[in-house]
Amino acid sequence: MNAPIGDEVARVDLRHDEGVVTARQRARDVAELLGFDRLEQTRIATAVSELARNAHRYAGGGEVRISCGANAMRVEVVDAGPGIPNLEEVLRGDYTSATGLGRGLVGVRQLMDEFEIEAARGTRVRVAKRLPGPAPDAREVRAELARRGAVNPFDEVSRQNEELLQALGEVRARQKAMLALNRELEETNTGVVALYAELDERAQRLRDADERKSRFLADMSHELRTPLNSIIALAELLLSGKPPLASEQATQVSFIRRVAQDQLTLVGDLLDIAKIEAGRLELELEDVALSELLVLLRGQLRPLLKDAGVQLRFDFPPAEATLRTDEAKLIQVLRNLISNAVKFTPQGEVLVSAEVLGPRVRFTVADTGIGIAADDLPRIFEEFVQIPGERQKARQGTGLGLPLAKTLVGLLGGEMTVRSTVGVGTAFTIELPLRHDVDSSVPDVTGAVLVVDDDETSRYVVEAHLRDTAWRTVAVAGGEPALAALAEALPAAVILDLSMPDLDGVEVLRRMRADARMAAVPVIIHTSRLLERWEVERLEGLGAHVLDKSRTSRSQLLEVLSVATR
């Protein structure tokens, strides 16, 4: 703070006790004349009084100089005393004399906007407070101070008492407001706990309803497949029977067979979806020659090419390769993609290709059809969604094919992507592991920290905290996939959220502790829920450490992990 001191408006000699009182009074008067409110006036007067008292007490006297700067009220207190030998410790708050010198200087620095001290030969302290508005003329301030005259020490003591009473009143008012706020928070917390309990109950009801829905779909799909298969078989008998049907009759029976086949495909899709949602879809893994798979597809799909303007081409891999997967499910996916490509390609070609890339194989189904708008691409994998358009109106569908295909690819351990340009064409790409001996959708958590949270941001924060440490992380988005991963291998520890839609953290923890194989795996509950004391005790009783998401730091997480895995 080496700015000019400004226009001096008051000077006080500190050789006598009265000087300390006068310095306080003059500082308050100047602060009032410069437009500071009463609270700021008290702060300034208190700071100046403390500096004046130090100069009088420790140096036997000194001088206070008060001035008006362009944007601040400035005060300089100087003395010719011995200085302060341990000044740095005092300012750090590490040293306080028996008379309270250290606390006083630290308090002054907090009360004022600027603070500077020199204490080598004598002591010089400069402090400043920024003005609340335009600075008045210094001559007017000096004239008003002269008019007010000398200070009566008893009046100043009375005024200090008033300030203390005012401050006490403000403190009490704040305490009252704080108590009211605490009561409000307690009521809110009670409401939040009740809300969580209600949400947990509703979530359980929704899980039960979803499970019943999946069972209903599975049972009804089975019941519908039997009559549809019979209708198709009877239609085949009529079409191939003797004597042959008349032309019109054959046409009608062919329509019956086609409609029944379409319905059977729909029922099959619904059955697969129900099985997937219920976790009961089983994969039948076998070795499949890649070239034979493409030959089979080509033979099955040639009847689709009723339009002579569309060509279906297959690009076989240059070298023979064997794929271990569920052949029926993979053919189901590829047939869906190819039939869609043919359906939405008025002219041009549909190219089906396969190539081996190290331990994976990539299938591509590319067409020169109508394409899909960029805004519609994310929606094509939503169930029962069909993109509007003239070509779609002419082709009936349910909107289940692509969502089911993407899900099946995931179950086969692969990934499906799509790129498209309107008027140019669309290309779907599927990448699968060459060998699917184990479920690739279940991550390998051996020796890792398994992060279980349905919130993507929370998973990212934990992974970021543990990045570049000795801990490897594997993240899953729910309780069910966490238990699936634990069934395959045991991690070094589990960081577990409590509130998840599929299976909450408490239930995951209970199942872990009930299973002798995973009972000893360390668990850290990482939640943003406001837990009651009994809830924390229940979790700790199940052998878990509890961390609050809102306050978890990297060092804290590492420390708890170290303790939990010790």
Nearby residues of 538 by Cβ (< 8 Å), 6 or more positions away: none
Lowest mean pLDDT among 118-127, 206-215, 313-322, 487-496: 206-215
CA-based nearest residue to 235, from 195, 200, 206, 264: 264
d(CA 459, CA 473): 10
Q: Tell me the backbone φ, ψ of residue 279, rounded to 5 degrees.
A: 70, 25
For the segment 163-176, what is each residue's pLDDT rounded down to a tens digit? 665 666 677 777 78
Domain extent listing, the chain: 7-151, 189-281, 286-433, 449-564
What number of CA atoms fall less than 13 Å from residue 211's CA on the CB side? Answer: 9
Architecture per CATH, 286-433? 2-Layer Sandwich (3.30)
Alpha carbon distance 337, 241 (integer Å): 34
> What is the band of 89 on the pLDDT scale with cuts at 50, 70, 90?
confident
Under the banding of pLDDT at 50, 70 and 90, the label for residue 522 is very high
Same fold, 7-151 and 189-281: no
Residue type, 340: N
Element (H, E) at 452: strand 449-452
Phi first, then psi, for residue 513 (nearest 5°) are -70, -20
CATH topology of domain 7-151: Heat Shock Protein 90 (3.30.565)
pLDDT at 390 over 60: no
Which has the closest alpha carbon to 138: 66, 224, 188, 230?
66
Tokens 């009529």 belong to residue: 238
Length of the chain: 566
Q: Which residue pairs, CB below 8 angstroms and at least 24 apart, start in 306-309?
A: 307/346, 309/346, 309/347, 309/348
What value does the mean pLDDT take over residues 504-519?
Answer: 90
DSSP SS3 for 104? helix
Q: Is residue 59 within 8 Å of 79, Cβ to Cβ? A: yes
Nearest of 254, 225, 229 to residue 240 by alpha carbon: 254
Rounded CA separation 391/31 (Å): 81
Q: What's the CA gap between 369 and 371, in Å, rounded?
A: 6
Determine phi and psi for 218, rounding to 5 degrees.
-65, -45
* Main-chain dihedrals φ then ψ at residue 357, nearest 5 degrees: -125, 85
The answer to whether the pTM exceeds 0.75 is no
Lowest mean pLDDT among 92-106, 505-519, 520-534: 92-106
Cβ-based neighbours of 88, under 8 Å, separated by 6 or more:
none
Helix (H, G, I), strand (E, B) or coil at 77: strand
Q: What is the pLDDT of residue 300?
A: 80
Mean pLDDT of 137-163: 74
Residue with tokens 């600027």: 114
The CATH number of 189-281, from 1.10.472.50, 1.10.287.130, 1.20.1250.20, 3.40.50.300, is 1.10.287.130
Lowest mean pLDDT among 39-53, 209-223, 365-379, 401-415: 209-223
Q: Which of 51-65, 94-108, 244-258 has the highest mean pLDDT?
A: 51-65
Residue that the structure tokens 């080509």 belong to: 298
pLDDT tens sequence across 303-322: 767 655 788 999 988 878 88
Quick one: CA torsion of 442, 443, 444, 446, rounded to 10 degrees?
Answer: -110
Nearest to 36 by CA among 137, 130, 156, 157: 130
- Choose which CATH entry (3.90.1010.10, 1.10.520.10, 3.40.50.300, 3.40.50.2300) describes domain 449-564: 3.40.50.2300
DSSP state of 358: T
Please report which confidence band the pLDDT of residue 100 belongs to, taking 50, 70 and 90 as the band edges.
low
**Which has the closest alpha carbon to 23: 3, 56, 52?**
52
Adjacency order of strands within the sheet including 123-130: 7-13, 63-68, 72-79, 123-130, 114-118
User: CA-CA distance, 74 to 62, in Å (whole number)?
Assistant: 17
Most confident of 96-110, 226-240, 413-427: 413-427
Q: What is the distance between the alpha carbons of residues 422 and 74, in angstroms, rounded to a whole number?
A: 72
pLDDT tens column, 397-418: 556 778 888 888 888 888 889 9
Residue 394 pLDDT class (50, 70, 90 cuts): very low
